[in-house]
Homo-oligomer: A and B are copies of this chain.
Amino acid sequence: MESKVITMKTLVLVSHPKATASATQTFLKTSADYLDDVTWRSIDDLYSATQINIVDEQKRLRAFDRIIFQFPMYWYTSPASLKQYMDDVFTRKFIVAKHWLKNKELGLVITLGDSLADFQAGGREQFTISELMKPFEAFANKAGMVYLKSFIIDQFGYLDVLKKQELLVSYLQYLSAPMPLSLEKREKWLITRLKQLEAGKTAQQRELLDLIIDSIDSRQDQIDDLKLNIKMIRDQEE
């Protein structure tokens, strides 16, 4: 079971009219390239290149365990290209009658220009991201998919190197680690990933790998601290 989950296949469907000009999308694509079981696909490129082949797309989707919609938030939802893809490819037959996406996972990777703190009651944007993404949650319900917690990146441009490094690890986990991500699962996932990453990488990739390992070490320290705290609390209770 665990070993199956660790090798899960993930499809990232990016909806962004100018993805190659976006620093955030470039960062995420570079990160995702480390994972062999992640397939990256630009919806906008797909539509600009040729007439979309709906049957091919449906076949492709069926081969994945986790499907990620990744997009910058435009007017409180995805850009139009993702909606076009959904309108075209997610026919009622495919989603409702045949239930082909049933039990697959649906995740959203959302980039925000504004601060996440603005998205709450009393905040400038008034509504939470969970509220604004209800149509996607409703779609997951209809399709019988498992709706994952959204992965939100706000104000990428303001992140320092350390924050970007943490973001990279969290993002790779979001793409490919089993959910929900318990500490135990996280450790297993990291070990598997590190083993895979050891072999056949370029110098540049190894440099980034060092960053990841540093990040894991600092996280591991945090985890150990937490475990110690929990033990102390339990001891006091007895």
Measured CB to CB, the residues of A under 8 A from B are: 17, 74-81, 83-84, 86-87, 90, 125-127, 131-132, 134-139, 141-142
Of the A-B pairs whose beta carbons lie under 8 Å apart in the complex, a sample of 22, sorted by A's number, is A17-B87, A74-B87, A75-B83, A75-B86, A75-B138, A76-B136, A76-B138, A76-B139, A77-B83, A79-B83, A80-B81, A80-B87, A83-B83, A84-B84, A125-B138, A125-B141, A126-B138, A127-B134, A127-B137, A131-B131, A132-B134, A134-B134
Residue numbers in B under 8 Å from A137 (CB-CB)? 127
Contact of A127 among B75, B87, B125, B138 (CB under 8 A): B138
Contact A87-B79, Cβ < 8 Å, known A126-B138, A131-B134: yes
- In the bound assembly, the distance between CA atoms of A137 and B131 in angstroms comes to 11
Residue numbers in B under 8 Å from A138 (CB-CB)? 75-76, 125-127, 132
10 closest cross-chain pairs (CB), A and B: A76-B135, A80-B84, A80-B83, A76-B138, A77-B135, A83-B83, A80-B80, A131-B134, A80-B87, A75-B86
Residue numbers in B under 8 Å from A134 (CB-CB)? 76, 127, 131-132, 134
Residue numbers in B under 8 Å from A17 (CB-CB)? 87
Check B135 against A75 for contact (C-beta < 8 Å): yes
Residue numbers in B under 8 Å from A81 (CB-CB)? 80
Q: Give chain B nearest CB distance to A116 CB in angstroms.
A: 15
Residue numbers in B under 8 Å from A131 (CB-CB)? 131, 134
Q: Give chain B nearest CB distance to A133 CB in angstroms.
A: 9
Smallest CB gap from A137: residue in B: B127
Q: Give chain B nearest CB distance to A82 CB in angstroms.
A: 8
Smallest CB gap from A119: residue in B: B138
- In the bound assembly, the distance between CA atoms of A141 and B135 in angstroms comes to 19
- In the bound assembly, the distance between CA atoms of A81 and B81 in angstroms comes to 9
Q: Give chain B nearest CB distance to A128 CB in angstroms.
A: 9
- In the bound assembly, the distance between CA atoms of A75 and B89 in angstroms comes to 12
Check A90 against B76 for contact (C-beta < 8 Å): no
Contact of A90 among B75, B83, B125, B141 (CB under 8 A): B75
- In the bound assembly, the distance between CA atoms of A24 and B220 in angstroms comes to 59
Contact of A87 among B75, B136, B141 (CB under 8 A): B75
Smallest CB gap from A131: residue in B: B134
